[in-house]
Structure 1
Amino acid sequence: MKFINRCVITLKPKPEFIEWVKSLGVELPETWDFEGGAYLFDEHESEESLVEGLSEEARAILENEFSVWTEDEDRWPETRDFAILKQLFTLHIAVAGFDLGKEALLRADVADLL
């Protein structure tokens, strides 16, 4: 096991997000247990600092989550801020991350993986 110098934020869809996905008319998962992303953030000295950093990244996180379900940005909710992030997802913040993987980490821009 290896320590990674990152905070880990996981998102679990709330009913409001699930309703938005249903409105798209896309194929739905059998269970929502495995839906929602995990995001790594730099370590922060305080909870206030971490929340501030998360607020600054809320738009990027939301756009990433929306793009999983539709690439049509006109169908995405217009407001994409921290308040909407908290409205659509339950956030769990872990201040320490641990890597249990056996393979080397891959680090690449998402655009490069498409």
Structure 2
Amino acid sequence: MAIVNRCAVGIYPAAHLLAWAERLDLDTTAGGAREPCLYLIPDFETNDEAEEILKEIYEAIFEAELDFWNRDSGTWPAEHTYSVFRKWFEVRFYPLIQDLVGEEITATELDEAFMGDLRTALEGLENPS
């Protein structure tokens, strides 16, 4: 067992996001739709420090979460401020990450080409021919 030199933030859909999704006829009851996404963030000592870290990175999380729900960015809220983010998502900080696997952790950088391929593959799953 090892302690990972990261903390995490869990992002849960809140009432504002679910209302938006329902207006778009998106399935808010599908398996995993209300489960959190976890994002690794730098180590923090206090929740105030974690909040400051989140303020620096929330835009990327906001965009990723909205894209998960609906890839049509024209349907996204016009305002992407931190206060809007906090209305759309519930946040929970996880200060300790333990690795129970015992194998090397790897990470893959996601570039635009990879993301485009992933979107195409996901669209194929949603709209089988």
Query: Does residue 61 of structure 1 match 2:61?
Result: yes
Segments of structure 1 that go 5 or more residues without pairing to the other structure are none
Label 1:90 to 1:31 Cα distance change in 2 as closer, same or farther (>3 A). same
Name the TM-score, length of structure 2 as normaliser. Answer: 0.73
Range moving further from structure 2, 6-15 or 58-67: 6-15
Larger relative contact order, structure 1 or 2 (CA cutoff 8 Å, min sep 6): 1
Q: Which moved more, 1:41-50 or 1:69-78?
A: 41-50
Give the distance between the partners of 1:74 and 1:14, measured in 2 at CA. Answer: 20
Q: Percent identity?
A: 24
Structure number with larger C-alpha Rg: 2
Aligned-residue CA RMSD in angstroms? 2.3
For these two proteins, the number of residue pairs brought into alignment is 114
- Return the letter of the residue paired with 2:90: T
Could you say if the C-alpha distance between residues 28 and 94 of structure 1 is closer, same or farther in structure 2, counting changes exceeding 3 Å?
Answer: closer
Aligned counterpart, 1:36: 36
Q: Is the 8 A contact 2:2 2:102 kept in 1?
A: no
Matched to 2:38, the amino acid is A
1:24–1:101 CA distance, 2 compared to 1 (3 A): farther
C-alpha contact (below 8 Å) 2:7/2:40 kept by paired residues: yes
